[in-house]
Amino acid sequence: MGSAFAEMTVIRAEGSAATTTSASVYFNAGVNDRSISSLLAALSDISAKYPGTQNVNLYINSSGGSMEAGYVAYEFLRRYPLKVSAINAATTDSAATMLYCATADRYAEPLSRFLLHPAAVGIAMSGYLKPDQAKQAFEDAEQENLKFSDIYKDCLKLPANDIATLLSSESNRRRLDYPAARSLGLITQELDQLPRTPDRATYFITDGGGR
């Protein structure tokens, strides 16, 4: 039986560094059940072993993936007992934006980028697409887009009709660099405002699926 987790490496501080008040998680993976299980395990480990942590820095480099897995992480982060700062370390695309939008304090590296676009669903086909399959795929995509729509209304300075347009077609996708993301309210904090202290523990998560 394969592991339920993506690859995760943990480095724990020793000596005086073990008493500092921050921790970091580097999420360098696609958004899928295994990688999100590892992310939730890392965050749970921090809150259980280091309950006095004042800030958890979540560095994201992900081209997206599963909407369902991303939504699980979004709700987990919203209810997480410790303060989390999200940082776009390079690329935060598609479903990965749900992780990013789950926090109020959102930072980004100067050359990082974002991709906002409609949700997509897989189609089980045996050679031809039948009318009922097309209808079901459309309904599934609409349901997934509701997740994006609900999350983006609190994460972007865009009116509802502009969000609806963004999610209506791949041709309306938005590739955002730092200035564009800052102007839309996706980035909320300047990077020099990020609390930087030695970490009690640092977690590195990868599954080879970030690209």
Mean pLDDT, range 146-169, rounded to an integer:
94
Residue 95 lies in a domain: yes
Label residue 20 by pLDDT band (50, 70, 90): confident
Q: 39: exposed, middle or buried (C-beta count within 10 Å: 0-12, 13-18, 19+)?
A: buried
**Averaged confidence pLDDT in the chain:** 90
The CATH number of the domain holding residue 28 is: 3.90.226.10
Q: Which residue, among 78, 67, 73, 79, has the nearest Cα to 27 in the 3D structure?
A: 73
Residue 161 lies in a domain: no
Q: Which two tokens stand for residue 22?
A: 């921050």
Q: Which residue, among 69, 87, 88, has the nearest Cα to 147 in the 3D structure?
A: 69
Residue 182 lies in a domain: yes
Which residues span the domain enclosing 47? 7-117+175-206
Q: What is the identity of the amino acid at 203?
A: Y
Whole-angstrom distance, CA of residue 87 vs CA of residue 72:
19
Mean pLDDT, range 109-126, rounded to an integer:
85
pLDDT for 17 equals 58
Q: Which two tokens stand for residue 13?
A: 């501080």
pLDDT for 36 equals 98
CA trace torsion 191, 59, 83, 71 (10° rounding): 130
Residue 37 lies in a domain: yes
Residue 166 lies in a domain: no
Whole-angstrom distance, CA of residue 162 vs CA of residue 55:
34
The answer, yes or no, to whether residue 141 has pLDDT greater than 80, is no
Q: What is the pTM of this model?
A: 0.89
Residue 142 lies in a domain: no
Residue 80 lies in a domain: yes
Q: Which residue, among 205, 209, 210, 211, has the nearest Cα to 6 in the 3D structure?
A: 205
Number of domains comprising the chain: 1
Residue 65 lies in a domain: yes
